[in-house]
């Protein structure tokens, strides 16, 4: 029991990052993948796992060893000529992601309270998120929100209820299935974009640096060089492995759930939150008003992960800009100590609110946001890999052979899939 408690006590940024990875965009993308392709896309959950672990471990190691954010390390490697374009791409992706996440949270809330205007709900969420991130210590805030993400286990339970032929599920989970058409390539890019996302790279790195500050290894982020032991590297890696494992378990469960419910019943396109919520009805089918209960569970999952992910999206933008401009930064600081950092969070979240005015289905917008993340992740992965191999920055903590092989494989695979997606889109327009 003591070992079990110690294990969970050591879990930190990796698990929070893994939980935020299953944000509303992720839930929508996994749901659409299961509804559209059934078991045919299950294999990606296991396939992506080692790739996610390697990429996030690199980002975590950069933050832990340097005591600074990813942007700061990239600036040392490439100078401002690279960090500012990279930061601009991140800001664009994050702002879009924030906007569609807010819209999805509002649409999900209206499943329970249809009489409340969506914009009013969105404003309430924005006010709460900004207020909490500025005035509540983030560690306390996250402890509360992590309980809300437990609602995602509803998909795990439903996946086992829906089931399917065990042999078919097992085979689909380990043997790749590929289709050469624009719909498959787009969902492929979206699935990579929502799991290997740029905002996770910057957040993970900066949170490890925050841990250095919390342990008094450095006075503040990007000031001083912390002394990191082999044990601390092992603990960080365990944290990342556990966090990414949680993320992929939820991905696999959502795909299996929507495969066994929506896809099996001929629903291959999810256009509304109502459609997505139907996937959870088998969980409560023996209860009166099962449809409404399923909507409530779905809404809690979207709201819980949105409340966790939006501060991380805005926070990663603020960390990246602070790295580039040399601003004081950190969620452990008071507003007056890091005004530019917190104002970036406020502006990023506020601008994201404007996206709720766009006349597009929130579920469709979430999938497009995942595609945008997939496109933008490619150049960012390149600079991460170059930085993680720089001995001047990481000294004796640079990438090993396996990290480089899997890292460059991820870069090439995502790059080629983005090119293939654009080719299929262009061909479909002719």
Least confident of 48-57, 157-166, 322-331, 338-347: 157-166
Q: What is the pLDDT of residue 256?
A: 92
User: What CATH number belongs to 2-429?
Assistant: 1.20.1740.10
pTM of the model: 0.91
pLDDT in tens, 31-44: 999 999 999 999 99
Secondary structure in 3-state letters for 8-44: HHCCCHHHHHHHHHCCHHHHHHHHHHHHHHHHHHCHH
Least confidently predicted of 145-149, 277-281, 351-355 = 145-149
Question: Nearest 5°: CA angle at 165, between 159 and 170?
Answer: 75
Reported as a pLDDT band with limits 50, 70 and 90, residue 364 is confident
Mean pLDDT along residues 398-419 = 95
Measured distance CA(385)–CA(418) in Å, rounded = 19
pLDDT of residue 7: 52
Give the CA dihedral 336, 338, 340, 341, nearest 10 degrees.
Answer: -130
pLDDT value for 52? 95
The pLDDT of residue 289 is: 77
Q: Which helix (H) or strand (E) holds 319?
A: helix 290-325
Tokens of 276: 């997505």
Instruction: Answer with the residue of higher pLDDT: 159 or 148.
Output: 159
pLDDT, tens digit, 9 for 90 and up, residues 56-108: 999 999 999 999 899 999 988 887 788 888 888 888 889 888 988 998 898 88
Domain assignments of the chain as residue spans, ordered by start: 2-429
The pLDDT, as a whole number, for residue 300 is 85
Examine the pLDDT at 14 and tell me if it is beyond 80. Answer: no
Whole-angstrom CA distances from 19 to 24, 111, 131, 212 are: 11, 23, 21, 22
Q: Which of 34, 26, 30, 157 is nearest to 104 (CA)?
A: 26
Tokens 């560690």 belong to which residue? 139
Residues 6+ apart with CB under 8 A from 333: 220, 341
Q: Using CA atoms, how far apart are residues 104 and 123, in angstroms rounded to an integer?
A: 13
What is the C-alpha separation between 235 and 333, in angstroms, rounded?
A: 25
Number of Cβ within 10 Å of residue 2's Cβ equals 6
């Amino acid at each position: 029991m003591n070992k079990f408690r110690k294990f969970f006590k050591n879990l930190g940024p990796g698990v929070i990052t893994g939980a935020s990875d299953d944000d509303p965009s992720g839930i929508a993308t996994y749901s659409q993948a299961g509804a559209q392709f059934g078991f045919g896309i299950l294999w990606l959950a296991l396939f992506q796992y080692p790739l996610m672990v390697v990429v996030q471990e690199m980002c975590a190691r950069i933050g832990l060893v340097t005591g600074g954010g990813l942007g700061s390390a990239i600036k040392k490697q490439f100078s401002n000529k690279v960090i500012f374009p990279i930061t601009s791409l991140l800001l664009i992706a994050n702002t879009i992601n924030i906007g569609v996440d807010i819209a999805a949270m509002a649409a999900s809330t209206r499943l329970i309270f249809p009489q409340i205007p969506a914009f009013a709900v969105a404003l309430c969420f924005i006010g709460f998120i900004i207020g909490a991130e500025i005035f509540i210590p983030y560690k306390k805030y996250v402890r509360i929100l992590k309980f809300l993400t437990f609602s995602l286990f509803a998909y795990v339970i439903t996946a086992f209820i829906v089931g399917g032929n065990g042999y078919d599920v097992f085979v689909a989970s380990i043997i790749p299935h590929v289709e050469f058409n624009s719909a498959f390539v787009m969902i492929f890019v979206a699935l990579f974009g929502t799991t290997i996302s740029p905002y996770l790279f910057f957040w993970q790195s900066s949170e490890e640096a925050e841990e250095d500050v919390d342990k008094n290894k450095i006075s503040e982020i990007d000031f001083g060089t912390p002394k990191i032991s082999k044990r601390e590297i092992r603990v960080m890696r365990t944290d990342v492995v556990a966090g990414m494992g949680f993320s992929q378990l939820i991905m696999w469960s959502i795909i299996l759930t929507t495969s066994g419910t929506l896809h099996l019943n001929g629903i291959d396109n999810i256009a509304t939150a109502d459609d997505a919520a139907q996937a959870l009805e088998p969980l409560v089918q023996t209860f009166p008003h099962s449809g409404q209960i399923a909507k409530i569970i779905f809404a809690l999952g979207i709201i819980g992960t949105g409340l966790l992910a939006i501060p991380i999206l805005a926070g990663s933008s603020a960390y990246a800009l602070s790295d580039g401009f040399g601003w004081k930064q950190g969620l452990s600081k008071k507003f007056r100590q890091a005004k530019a950092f917190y104002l970036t969070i406020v502006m990023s979240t506020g601008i994201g609110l404007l996206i709720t005015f766009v006349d597009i289905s929130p579920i469709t917008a979430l999938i497009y946001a995942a595609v945008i993340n997939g496109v933008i992740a490619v150049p960012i992965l390149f600079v991460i890999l170059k930085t993680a191999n720089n001995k001047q920055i990481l000294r004796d903590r640079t990438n090993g052979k396996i990290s480089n092989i899997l890292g460059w494989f991820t870069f090439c695979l995502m790059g080629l899939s983005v090119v293939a997606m654009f080719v299929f889109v262009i061909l479909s327009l002719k």
